[in-house]
Structure 1
Amino acid sequence: MLATYVIGLREGLEAALIVGIIAAFLKNNGRRLTGMWIGVVLAVALSIGVGVVLSLVEQSLPQAAQEAMETVIGAVAIFFVTGMLVWMNRHARSMRSELEEHAGAALKDGHAWALALMAFLAVLKEGFETSVFLLATFSASTDAALAALGASLGVLTAIAVGIGIYLGGVRINLSRFFRVTGGFLILVAAGLVVSTLRTAHEAGWLTGGQQRTVDLSAIVTPGSIPSALITGVLGIPADPRLIEVVGWFAYLIPVALFVFWPRAARPRADRVPRLQAALGAAAAVVAIALAVSWALPTTTAPGPLTLAAGASGTDGATTGTASLAGTRLTIALDGSDARTVTLDGPSTSVEHEGVNASQWTWTDDDSGSGPATLSLEDLATLSGGRLPIGINRAQQPGPFAAHWQISDEVSVWTAEGVLLDASSTRDAIVTLSGGGLTTERSVTVTGADLAHPDAGWHGATAEVSARAALAEARIETDNERLLWGVQVPAVLAVAAIALLLAAWRGRRRTRAHEAVEASPAPFTHPAHAAAP
């Protein structure tokens, strides 16, 4: 509630200040306020509409898409509040005088509509920023009702201050006000960085840096004052992750230094480009160092997977091996020629042995044959110890002629280039004739046939578990490499480019100013100078 109150107060006060000054100018100059109020009402309605539309769109999306949208809104809100802090830090002292100057110029030129447009744009800008920032804060808040109440109270307070400014009974030190509230908003925005990084992870955009750092659950207990302050106001969760801690400090420290660094100790204008260039070069060096240190390492592929006979989960005798080289899978069963299959067809994403894996499944038909003749005892054995329904010992005593159609269903699971597991199950359809049967009968046999009692096979349990652990470790390593070797260096590279461009532009302005100062004064003839 406190965080949203300060947001509503600060953003609302800026808009109220602009509207109050414009209204005072119009009143003192005998102009009507109707146009200005129309612009203000339209801007407020549009701002509320933006917030409502964004909220409805977010609620209509699936869970993962909601997290992605919250991430985008959070990033935009961080950009807005940072830009506001930077602008206010530079212009808070002269904000009122600049507004009065622009308003006076507009009235002098007879452009009263320009003041109404100024009020409309000012309220629309602040309203849009407030909608996005509050929507992001609501998403991170533990109590949306209190957050909404705080925002409403903040806006109402800002309106009251604006009315006081208009009536002339309120004097406020804008520089000090924005400086104090700016310090609080820096903490709120840093917490918003944490929540944005978390929603990015939940959306699947940020998979690295999820190591737990500290456990604040003993302090951040629901309903307690520390919980309201740490989680509700500052947006810090009870289990901050490594990337969230890094993001919190990476935002808080430079922004706080920029806002609160003593003005007397700040570098002169001609030295700012050098500082920007030095910071840009440092960011580029760190980006390169991270990218190089997280370069792709050489990994050793595991050896062939041992195949065990029997149903999955029960290891029988070793029956062969399976190995994966790129997309080529080789299955070598004892007593049979090795067979190579290319895994280039469509796969299914599944969880196997606790690992997100890709599964390929295919069926081999007519891969074997069984006995040509079956007795009643053989038929009962194939059917699990009892005769199939519809066959009677007295009326169909056998033996039966048997025609076999056998199918082997092979499944293979891979993860991170590792052959995780492989299995095969054998099914057969036996068509019976003779032996007292008046018509042919079909019997389905699952798992084995008489000629191949151990036809089913699977990856050895211990080896599959070890390969699952290896695949999980590779996934975690790849996630960390993506974060620290690609994503963070990319952010640092963008920051380095922005700083270097700013340094280049600042240096150009400095040189142009120096050239103007060094240019000689225009020559004036003595006779002209002596003339009265």
Structure 2
Amino acid sequence: MLATLVIGLREGLEAALIVGIIAAFLRRNGRSLVPMWLGVGAAVMLSLIIGVTLSLIEVALPQAAQEGLETIIGAVAVVFVTLMIVWMNTHARGMRAELESEAQHALGRGGATALAVMAFLAVLKEGFETSVFLLATFSAAQSAGLAALGAVVGIALAALLGWGIFAGGVRIDLGRFFRLTSVFLVLVAAGLVVTCLRTAHEAGWLNAGQQRTIDLSAIVQPGSIQAALLTGVLGIPADPRLIEVVAWVAYLVPALCYLFWPRRARPSAAGAQRLRWVLATGCLVLAAALALTAWLIPSPQVSSLTLVDQASQAPAGSVVIAGSGAARSAAFTYASGATADLPLDASTAASDTHLGVTTQHWQQTATTSPDGAPSTITLDALITLAGGRVPVGISAVQNPGPFTAQWNRTEVDEVWLTGAGLLDASAHSTLTVTLTGGGLQNARTVSVTDTAAIDAVTAPDAQSVASAAATAVEQGEGERVLWGAEVPGALVIAAAVLVISALRHRARAPRGSHPAPSSPPPEPPTPAISIAAADHGRTS
């Protein structure tokens, strides 16, 4: 409630001041106020329509899309409040003079209609900013009802103050008022930055930088005053994440420095130039350091896996990544001493999701004839190899044997690779015998027991290590992009803005001019403003 009250008061008072100054100017020049009030009413209605429309659109969207829209609205609100603070901090002292000058020009161009349009646009700007900022604050508030009540109370107070200023009974030190409310709005906007990053994560747009930093649950308990202040007003969650803390500090510290840096300590023109170059250099150095740190830290790699027998869990061998480039392969070595080699050619890989991780999958099937296998086999020996049963399709009466036997061992080797290397592997073999003769009219293929069968899978502990490494690498890619590309990119953009600003100020400076060695004297305090005094020709 407090946040929306201050927002309504601040934005409403800005609009009230603009309307009051225009109204005083019109009255002093003997013009009707009706066109101005029509413009103000139209602007207020349009602002309400914008706010209600955005709210209805958000409610109608699916959950993820709602989070995405809240992110966009919050980001726009942060931009609006930042620009508003900067503009008001620069123009608050001369706002009345500037508005009266613009009103004089508008009156000369189009009379009262031009001033009505001027009032409409001014109030619409404030109303649109208020709608977006309040909507973003409602999304982060613990109670939408209290937040709405705070906004209504703030706007009502702003209207009363505006009327009091217009009537001449209220005097406000605008410089101090806007300075104090700017501090509060900076804190709220910093909280909105955190909220935007949280909703961006919930929308699936931002999955990096989600490491927990501090647990505030003992302080931010639901229903407590601390929770209302920290979470409801300042937007600080009970479990702030790393990217949220970094963004909060990155917004709050420069904004507060901008508001409270002593005027006497502000650098001269030449000093400001040097400061811009120093800050640009610092941004580039920090960007390079982040990029190098993010991309040069090695990722965990798994180059070998232990294999066990699927049934007994006894050691069955291992698989190792051998070679590199086009000659890379997965080399299987079994406990019996047998080996197999699976080429890892990129052109034969299949994309697959295995164990919850995106992988490249290779599979190889090889058929060989076992050494020493007999060329003939009796019915009794066949029954023994078939597990004590007569194989399907063979009759002991009609097919008494012996049979001519052709033996085949089929082995299927598989590996799954991720950015972390090996994730999983398996090897399975089956032994079949194709029988002819012995009373058979047609050839019969029968699966039989294989004493040298391979039924190897990845050992559970090795698979856990590989899965953890694959997950870490998969998550690490997002972290690398964030800290190694996106954040350094933002710093490079900031450095470019500082360089352009320095070059522009340098081009504007007259050649041969020398900056004053001492800082400019402090400006006098902002006088209290009374709009009604303008009607009598005196300065407040």
TM-score, with length taken from structure 2: 0.77
Deviation at 1:20, TM superposition (A): 2.6
Distance 1:25 1:133 in 2: 30
Aligned to 1:519: none
Aligned to 2:16: 16
Q: Deviations over 1:317-357 (max 9, x none)?
A: 415525375695535364464232435555234544xxx33
Letter in structure 2 aligned against 1:469: A
- 1:182 deviates by 0.4
Which deviates more, 184-193 or 128-137?
Answer: 128-137
What secondary structure is seen at the aligned counterpart in 2 of 1:210?
A: coil
Q: Is 1:186 aligned to 2:190, yes or no?
A: no
CA drift of 1:259 comes to 0.9
Match of 2:423 among 420, 424, 429: 420
Q: Residue type of the partner of 2:494?
A: A
For this pair of structures, how many residues does the alignment match?
503
Q: Distance in 2 between matches of 1:250 and 1:509?
A: 30
1:391-402 matched pairs, under 5 angstroms: none
Q: 1:490 — aligned with what?
A: 489
The Cα of 1:404 is off from its aligned counterpart by 12
One-letter amino acid matched to 1:348: D
Corresponding position of 1:321: 319
Percent identity between matched residues is 50
Q: Tell me, yes or no, if the aligned pair for 1:429 and 1:442 is still in contact at 8 Å.
A: yes
Residues 357 and 279 from structure 1, CA distance in 2 versus in 1: closer, same or farther, beyond 3 angstroms?
Answer: same
Alpha-carbon distance in structure 2 between the residues aligned to 1:133 and 1:364: 63
What is the CA-CA distance between 1:223 and the residue it aligns to?
Answer: 0.2
Could you tell me whether the CA contact under 8 Å between 2:420 and 2:469 is conserved in 1? Answer: no
Equivalent residue runs for 1:445-464 within 5 Å: 450-451=449-450, 454-464=453-463
- Runs of 5+ in structure 2 lacking a partner? 515-540
Distance 2:400 2:46 in 1: 86
The change in CA–CA distance for 1:60 and 1:376 in structure 2 (over 3 A counts) is farther
Instruction: Give the SS at the match of 1:176.
Output: helix
Other-structure match for 1:309: 309
What's the counterpart of residue 258 of structure 2?
Answer: 258
Q: Tell me the CA shift for residue 459 of structure 1.
A: 1.3
Which residue of the partner structure matches residue 124 of structure 1?
A: 124
1:347 partner amino acid: S
Whole-Å separation in 1 of the counterparts to 2:436 and 2:427:
29
Aligned residue for 2:359, secondary structure, equals strand
1:392–1:495 Cα change, 3 Å: closer
**Distance in 2 separating the partners of 1:374 and 1:7:** 95
Distance 1:346 1:24, change over 3 A: farther
User: In 1, are the aligned partners of 2:400 and 2:438 still within 8 Å (CA)?
Assistant: yes
Change in Cα spacing, 1:109 to 1:49, as seen in structure 2 (3 Å) is: closer
Distance 1:411 1:336, change over 3 A: closer
- The residue number in structure 1 matching 2:140 is 140
Question: What pairs up with 1:77-88 in 2 under 5 angstroms?
Answer: 77-88=77-88
CA distance in 1: counterparts of 2:397 and 2:342, whole angstroms: 42
Query: Distance in 1 between the 2:251 and 2:217 partners?
Result: 24
Q: Provide the residue aligned with 1:348 in structure 2.
A: 352
Q: Secondary structure at the match of 2:296?
A: coil
What is the aligned-residue RMSD (CA, Å)? 4.4
**Distance apart, 1:221 and its partner CA:** 0.7
Give secondary structure in 1 for the equivalent of 2:423: strand
Q: Aligned in 2, Cα 1:246/1:26: closer, same or farther, shift over 3 Å?
A: same
Tell me if the contact between 1:277 and 1:503 (Cα under 8 Å) persists in the aligned partners.
yes
1:145-156 equivalence runs, <5 A: 145-156=145-156
Encode CA deviations 1:96-121: one digit per residue, 9 max, x unaligned: 22112221332244432221222222
Compute the displacement of 1:360 (Å): 3.3
Counterpart of 1:496, as a letter, is: A
Between the aligned partners of 2:393 and 2:80, the Cα distance in structure 1 is 83
Structure scoring higher RCO (CA < 8 A, sep ≥ 6) equals 2
Distance 1:100 1:257 in 2: 32
2:43 aligned residue:
43
